Amino acid sequence: MKFPGFLPFVGYLKQFIISGGTSPYAVLKVRVMKKNSGFTLVELMITLTVMIVLLSVGVPSFIQTIRINNTVMEVNRMVTSLNLARSEAVKRRMQVTIARTGAEWEDGWRIFSDQDGDGVLDAGDTELKIYTALRNGYTLRSGGNIDDWIAYLPTGMGKGNGGLPSDRFRLCADDQDTATGRSIVINNIGRLRIEDGTASCP
């Protein structure tokens, strides 16, 4: 038995299944939408302008944040050294000295037990820790009392190569900006505090 109207329906159904369940109109509509998708030149220029504005505002702020974080990290290195020297002096019951290893403090420094208290690493002394130079572009300077070395006594009191330990370390970044620098201030008994900014760079 034949059904004249059934075969065209089967053919249409087959085409409907092959096309993924979409009608010819829907397929045509999708193709037109795909053809028209994208950016116009005006839209592209607006997008680029917005990106340039955001970068010009965000990049300098990001660089400044990195510089400040690096400065804090370098300050913490010296503060850690001072605290270590003080605790070791009390524990070992002898002077423990922090002395720079180069022309300036930013070149690095070492911590050692100083039996004769002269601020020099001698044959009988023990090197406790050595710190490498600061990252490029950073300076670490001090005044006359701790120009070469600073030490702590078994009592926890401080001592500098100039007699008293009262002095300060000045740490500056590569931009030599005194406002963004940091100062490590050491009082007459060797206690320290950190201040924002420095009187001079380096």
Task: Supply the pLDDT for residue 117.
Answer: 95
Tell me: pLDDT of 1 over 60. no
pTM, two decimal places: 0.70
Residue entry with tokens 């130079």: 133
27, two tokens: 């397929």
Instruction: Please give the Cα distance from 13 to 7 (Å, whole number).
Output: 10
Please give the single-letter amino acid code of residue 133. Answer: A
Task: Supply the pLDDT for residue 59.
Answer: 60
DSSP 163: B
Beta bridge partners of 158: 152
- Average pLDDT on 152-172 reads 94
**DSSP H helical ranges for the chain:** 6-18, 24-36, 41-92
pLDDT in tens, 46-97: 888 888 777 776 666 777 778 888 899 999 999 999 999 999 999 999 999 9
Its sign, for the CA torsion 127, 194, 90, 149, is positive
Task: Supply the pLDDT for residue 32.
Answer: 47
Tell me: pLDDT of 140 over 50. yes
Residue entry with tokens 């002269």: 118
Task: Supply the pLDDT for residue 19.
Answer: 53
- Average pLDDT on 18-44 reads 57
